[in-house]
Amino acid sequence: MIVAVDVYYSSNSGAVAAAVVFSSFTDCEPHSVYISKIDRADDYVPGQFYKRELPCIMSVLQQINEEIDTIIIDGYVDPGNKPGLGRYLWDLLERKIPVIGVAKSFYMGTEAVKVLRGRSRQPLYITSAGMEIAEAAARIEKMAGKFRIPSILKLADQISRTGKYKPDISVNKR
């Protein structure tokens, strides 16, 4: 199974982590959804975002019952020449589960593959650990959805922002 994770930080220092589990990169609908509400997230430290994000991601990943073979994060595996959130996650998982990073904006010095989806002229920036970057980019490119952001990734974002999942949430289907 594949899991897309996203974290949203609220103004009261809490956070919500969402994990959307699906079986194929072309799926329009999730197999299952997990939500973890964190009462107090660590403060943001410039250049060490992973220290804030990793505990939130791990709290939701620990709930998942299915066997995971790929994780997609909102952000970079390696921004520039230093390890980023995705690299730290891959290492924490003992380099057993590939991690794909999907970023919406370019980070100077990053060796990312640009993926254009739908009619968007703005690319997504794909990085990976445990999987060839070209393969990771091809998988993200074929994900369901008509627009720049794949439907399942948009769903993970919506769930993390609201802390709720309604199976009838409209997602952009291919």
Q: Which residues pair with 7 in a beta bridge?
A: 17
Q: Is the dihedral of CA 64, 5, 159, 39 positive or negative?
A: positive
In total, the chain counts a number of residues equal to 174
Mean pLDDT estimate for the chain:
92
**Are the CB atoms for 21 and 33 separated by under 8 Å?**
yes
What SS3 state is found at 40?
coil
Residue 157 confidence (pLDDT): 97
Low-confidence winner among 64-68, 107-111, 160-164 (lowest mean pLDDT): 107-111
* Structure-token pair, residue 125: 């920036």
Is residue 29 situated within a structural domain?
yes
| Number of domains the chain is built from | 1
Say whether pTM exceeds 0.85: yes
pLDDT tens digits for range 17-72: 999 999 999 999 999 999 999 998 877 777 778 888 999 999 999 999 999 999 99
Is residue 170 situated within a structural domain?
no
Q: Which domain holds residue 92?
A: 2-162
Residue 24 confidence (pLDDT): 97
Instruction: Report the CATH number at residue 153.
Output: 3.30.2170.10
pLDDT tens digits for range 126-145: 999 999 999 999 999 999 99
Is residue 65 situated within a structural domain?
yes
Is residue 124 situated within a structural domain?
yes
**Are the CB atoms for 115 and 123 separated by under 8 Å?**
yes
